[in-house]
């Protein structure tokens, strides 16, 4: 079975700037995949190459086995792209825009699906409105609709929720989630890391045109020693034998509440047992996990362990 998207050693240079420095990545069919990285990392450049809008200097990209240059039509048909920039012909209505896009793919009787997309994206009441009179958030919805008119098996969304309200983000993720459950492959770039953490099964992090991390979201979260145990001793004091374990050991003798960094949740039990044998009564227990933001910051600032790099 071919990968949904296979990216092999893709390089792209803009004058003196190496936008992509040899990116290789396989995205499997049915995945909900996140492509993350700071501004200028090369995400949009990579997506333009996948969409056949920009040529790579070297390397290759295939969508469901179709090379994006040599088999452009097949590759393009397999793909729905929601671009980062809002570009439209302002004189068409929403429905006309979607019909035109259907026509591009040779679909003449597509109105039932168009109506369903309009409904799912809360656009039904805007169907006959001209594109130029829509708000930015509404235009963004039409961009998403436009990417989906030909029911592409692979959908790539480049910052679809940048600057849109919470309501649209929720509508959008509900709909995209459904498409993914129905088997469509979803590739997403976003600035909202909590969004990526919730939605994506696997994540690639891009930095200065290179993949600096590639793993399941779960494994990425585990990489950061971010689990903290917070214990409260409001009725007594912190047991002496625990001082050295505390993040701030000097404050521990006088603290009512301390934080302890754990390398695994299995450490909680012996710590609580120690408190019990020392006669210290714990009246608050809280476990704080690392989130994707912690992972992102560590990897982007080069503090990721060797194992974090692939």
Ligand X SMILES: Nc1ncnc2c1ncn2[C@@H]1O[C@H](COP(=O)(O)OP(=O)(O)O)[C@@H](O)[C@H]1O
Side-chain half-sphere CA neighbours of 165 within 13 A: 6
Query: With respect to ligand X, which residue has the nearer C-beta, 208 or 290?
Result: 208
Of residues 269, 241, 245, 246, the one with CA closest to residue 257: 246
- Residues near Mg ion (CB under 5 A) are 43-44, 84
Binding partner at 14 among ligand X, Mg ion, none, C-beta below 5 to 8 Å by kind:
ligand X
Minimal distance in Å, beta carbon 181 to Mg ion? 27
CA distances from 5 to 65, 76, 197, 220, 270 (A): 8, 12, 21, 21, 47
Burial classification of residue 250, based on how many CB atoms lie within 10 Å of its CB (0-12 exposed, 13-18 middle, 19 or more buried): exposed
Binding partner at 40 among Mg ion, ligand X, none, C-beta below 5 to 8 Å by kind:
ligand X
Minimal distance in Å, beta carbon 171 to ligand X? 24
Minimal distance in Å, beta carbon 283 to ligand X? 47
Among 39, 108, 125, 277, binds ligand X (CB under 6 A): 39
Task: Scan for tokens 């009787």, then name that residue.
Answer: 109
Among 34, 42, 152, 304, binds ligand X (CB under 6 A): 42
Stretch that binds ligand X, among 41-49, 173-181, 195-203, 261-269 (CB under 6 A): 41-49
Residue 34 in the binding site for ligand X (CB under 6 A): no
Contacts 24+ apart (CB under 8 A), 235-238: 235/281, 235/283, 236/280, 236/281, 237/280, 238/280
Among 4, 25, 33, 44, binds ligand X (CB under 6 A): 44
Residue 177 in the binding site for ligand X (CB under 6 A): no
Structure tokens, 190: 């976003």
Sign, Cα dihedral of 53, 66, 156, 196: negative
Which H or E run includes 19?
A: strand 17-27
Side-chain half-sphere CA neighbours of 132 within 13 A: 4
Among 3, 19, 49, 246, binds ligand X (CB under 6 A): 19
Assign 127 to helix, strand or coil: coil
Minimal distance in Å, beta carbon 37 to ligand X? 5
Query: With respect to ligand X, which residue has the nearer C-beta, 14 or 91?
Result: 14
Residue 70, phi then psi, degrees to nearest 5: -75, -25
Minimal distance in Å, beta carbon 182 to ligand X? 28
Binding partner at 45 among ligand X, Mg ion, none, C-beta below 5 to 8 Å by kind:
ligand X
Minimal distance in Å, beta carbon 253 to Mg ion? 51
Strands 257-261 and 17-27, by their bridges, are: unpaired
Residue 41 in the binding site for ligand X (CB under 6 A): yes
Minimal distance in Å, beta carbon 147 to ligand X? 17
Assign 229 to helix, strand or coil: strand
Cβ-closest position to Mg ion: 44
Binding partner at 125 among Mg ion, ligand X, none, C-beta below 5 to 8 Å by kind:
none
Which residues pair with residue 210 across a beta bridge? 207
Among 34, 45, 155, 245, binds ligand X (CB under 6 A): 45
Minimal distance in Å, beta carbon 64 to ligand X? 23
Structure tokens, 129: 């409105």
Binding-site ranges for ligand X (CB under 6 A): 14, 17, 19, 37, 39-45
């Amino acid at each position: 079975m071919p990968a949904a998207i296979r990216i092999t050693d893709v390089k792209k240079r803009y004058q003196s700037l190496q936008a992509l420095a040899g990116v290789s990545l396989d995205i499997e069919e049915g995945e909900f995949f996140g492509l993350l990285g700071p501004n200028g990392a090369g995400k949009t450049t990579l997506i333009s190459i996948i969409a056949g809008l920009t040529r790579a200097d070297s390397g290759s990209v295939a969508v469901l086995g179709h090379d994006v240059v040599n088999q452009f039509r097949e590759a393009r048909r397999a793909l729905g792209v929601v671009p980062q920039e809002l570009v439209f012909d302002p004189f068409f209505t929403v429905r006309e825009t979607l019909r035109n896009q259907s026509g591009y793919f040779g679909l003449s009787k597509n109105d039932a699906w168009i109506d369903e997309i309009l409904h799912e994206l809360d656009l039904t009441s805007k169907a006959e409105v001209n594109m130029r009179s829509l708000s930015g958030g509404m235009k963004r919805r039409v961009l998403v609709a436009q990417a989906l008119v030909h029911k592409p098996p692979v959908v790539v969304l480049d910052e679809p929720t940048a600057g849109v309200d919470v309501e649209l983000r929720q509508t959008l993720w509900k709909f995209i989630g459904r498409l993914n459950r129905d088997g469509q492959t979803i590739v997403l770039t976003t600035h909202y890391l909590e969004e990526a953490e919730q939605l994506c099964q696997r994540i690639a992090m891009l930095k200065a045109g290179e993949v600096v991390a590639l793993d399941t979201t779960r494994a990425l979260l585990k990489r950061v020693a971010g689990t903290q145990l917070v214990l409260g001793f409001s009725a007594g004091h912190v047991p002496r034998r625990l001082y050295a374990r505390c993040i701030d050991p000097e404050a521990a003798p006088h603290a009512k509440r301390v934080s302890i960094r754990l390398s695994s949740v299995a450490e909680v039990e012996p710590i609580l047992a120690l408190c019990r044998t020392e006669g210290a009564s714990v009246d608050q227990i809280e476990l704080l996990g690392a989130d994707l933001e912690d992972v992102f910051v560590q990897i982007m600032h080069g503090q990721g362990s060797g194992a974090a790099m692939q």
